[in-house]
Chain A
Amino acid sequence: MHNDFHHALVVDNELCYGCTHCMMACPTAAIRIDNGKAVIIDERCIDCGECMKACPVDAIFVEQDDFKKIFEYEYRIAIVPAVFLGQFSKKISVKEIVDAIKETGFTHVFLAEESAEVINEVMLNEYDSDRERPLISPFCPAVVRLIQVKFPGMVENIIPVKTPVDSTAMYVKKYMQDKGLPEKRTGIFYVTPCAAKIAALKSIPEDEIVINGVINMDMLYNKVYHIFKTRKGGNTIEDGSFTGISPKVLKWSLTGGEADNMKGRCLAIDEVHNVTKFLERVEDGDIINVDFLELRACDHGCAGGVLMTENRFLTVERIRTKADRIKEDLPEQPIEKYHGHLKANAGISEIEPRSMFKLDEDMEEAYRKMQRIRHLMCFLPAIDCGACGAPNCQSLAEDVVKGKAHLSNCIFIQRSMEKNRKLSNEHAIRLIEKVWGKDRLDKNCNKKGAENETD
């Protein structure tokens, strides 16, 4: 799985003005500034979306399929995560939301977490395996990638099971087939709350692809919200009887959604920096006797996804309220007939490590590079200003040793070179322009906060 490390985050060079906010926010130091624009380093990016959240001018976006693509199919299926239901006021019922989604052009709507019961069962079965503890959920693709690049020694802790959306997509496909609807005329679209899910879906090998396209949640939000705002007639009151989804399924993507349903000592940790710090301690052998870790890259789980429009605290509260209103005796769901099939096909191949730290495959060469880095650090100022186009001095030193940057990119090194007459004024300007763009030193009153600020 994920042989092809597809990325969904893209920098819009028209909008980006090289402000370094994203570079400084990135938890894996995956961004550099070159020629005045942010550049994402593929090997390091985990698609967590922190850069997008940090960008002051919305220059980082999540690529998606053209919405019109859904109309290439006769049967248009939307797989929608539960957090979408928390985007709207409590006065709007689940049924109304589903109806509005259909009004945008879909013929069928399924909840992405519908298969969570199956996934839960498969994960619980792992307790009897000799897999390294703590077991780690593969739910959040950004976390899986974080472990691959930053904690390669812990990939074996990840339970090799499908994410609910993958399993649900498999169910939807089979359900439609069994209804006699031709596969070729059926298009399955996933409405994503984040970049990581798209990146993961697009990295699935060609022959295993079930989902035909991805729609960003903010785009669907606008379409659905528009329907609510322009239609006539009053709202109906939520009766909690929509499709009979269980509270567990509804809350699965929120923080604690998985941990509350696993066995033994389970912890739920959200937000990418919190996750990183916790994994550091697990890796150090400092945290023992934990059975299961639910790790999510976003604060408040998927409610904090980068493509969510509504405030994450409100989203969580609304979903919890909806879950509380669900009656206990739920009718049997169509998905239950497919339980065995989904369970038998829930496995995925083991997650491969792909360390971003290693300076070289060859240990001796890595050692030499490490020595050089340590030597370069003797000269760098250690104030992590980012003026070289790298997020900190250590990153610049590593880039220099890897042949991807020059030590003279550092403005402090430039001063000292000028002092020692090893660098001419003209050359220093050229160096600045190389990183920050040709016109960066010119007066520009259109920039954010300046006299003629334009937005």
Chain B
Amino acid sequence: MKFTYTIEGGDFSKAGHASSSVKKVLKQLNVNSKVIKRIVVALYEGEVNVVAHAYRGKIEADINAERIYVRIEDEGPGIPDIGLAMTAGYSTASEKVREMGFGAGMGLPNMKKNTDELKVTSEVDKGTTVEMTTYLK
């Protein structure tokens, strides 16, 4: 089953829409609540990343009885050094974003912690794609 969501850069009020919707589906599938929590945390971080850093983005979640695969693709500045971005505490978020309580530099590290497989690809001045797979059992 495929679910798609769009994200607008800068619109923090909508961040969490995809994770909330995916959560409902996983609950119906009787997925263990601890697993749901990991998936929801990772996806929420991903959504916030797009809102905070990119111009716009698209989320595709593909769910079957075995696993959930999420692909978050954005149009944005891209990440010059992915290794650095994966470091806990490292952040390029603007002052404005930090004031809103975001941008602590835990986005990607948190996503890595909460997914079984994480792949980040990025091109500077074009955008970033994050792929996450988590097994449901």
Contacts and interface: CB of A to CB of B under 8 A. Distances in A.
A152 B137 contact: no
Contact of B29 (A280, A283, A363): A363
Interface residues of A, number: 23
B65 A367 contact: yes
Interface stretch (B20-28, B80-88, B91-99, B123-131): B20-28
Interface stretch (A69-77, A169-177, A350-358): A350-358
A366 B28 contact: yes
B69 to A, nearest CB: 14
A208 interface: no
Contacts of B20: 280, 284
B37 A367 contact: no
Contacts of A283: 23, 37, 40
A362 B1 CA distance: 17
Contacts of B63: 367
Contact of A153 (B30, B33, B136, B137): B33
Interface in B22-67: 23-25, 27-31, 33-34, 36-37, 40-41, 44, 63-65
A285 B37 contact: yes
Contacts of B30: 355, 358-363, 366
Contacts, number: 62
Contacts of B40: 283-285
B50 to A, nearest CB: 16
Given A363-B137, A370-B1, A284 B19 contact: yes
B43 to A, nearest CB: 9
Query: Most chain-A Cβ atoms within 10 A of its Cβ — which of B37, B63, B136?
Result: B37
A286 interface: yes
A364 B16 CA distance: 27
A226 interface: no
Contacts of B27: 152, 355, 357-358
B1 A284 contact: no
A363 B25 CA distance: 12
A366 B41 contact: no
A374 B1 contact: yes
B37 to A, nearest CB: 6
Nearest to A359: B28
Given A284-B23, A284-B40, A364 B33 contact: no
A363 B37 CA distance: 17
Contacts of A363: 29-31, 65, 136-137
A353 B20 CA distance: 20
Interface of A: 152-153, 280-281, 283-286, 353, 355, 357-364, 366-367, 370-371, 374
Interface of B: 1, 16, 19-20, 23-25, 27-31, 33-34, 36-37, 40-41, 44, 63-65, 136-137
